[in-house]
Amino acid sequence: MQSRMPLMHQHQLEHKKSAVIKRSIILNGHKTSVSLENEFWHGLREIARHEHTTVPMLVERIDRSRDICNLSSAIRVFVFNHFRAPDALAKSATCVEQSETYAEMI
């Protein structure tokens, strides 16, 4: 006999999927929208904070360096590669420590 997952559990699993969030960014003087999962927006903000820049400035840099893929894909690859790098864990830990220190100062 085949066991079936209760409907409630199926519904809960569907809600655990990461939502795609669409945000507007001014890119090279033009307003454009970018759709990314929240985790990628979070990673992008963390990288920008670590590099002492803004998210729009970081996205402009990604846009200038991308080949033919769409901007959302280029951002995902950039964030993925950033955190995949050997020193990414140290970078991430430093960002968290700096955020905690800043929060304590406020």
**Range list of β-strands (E), the chain:** 20-27, 30-37
Instruction: Parse the chain into domains and list their residue ranges.
Output: 18-105
Q: Cα(90)–Cα(93) distance, rounded to whole angstroms?
A: 5
Asked if pLDDT for residue 105 goes beyond 80, the answer is: no
Superfamily of domain covering 18-105: protein bp1543 (1.10.3990.20)
Rounded Cα gap, residues 106 and 101, in angstroms: 9
Residues 7-46: tens digit of each pLDDT: 545 555 455 567 899 999 999 899 999 999 999 999 999 9
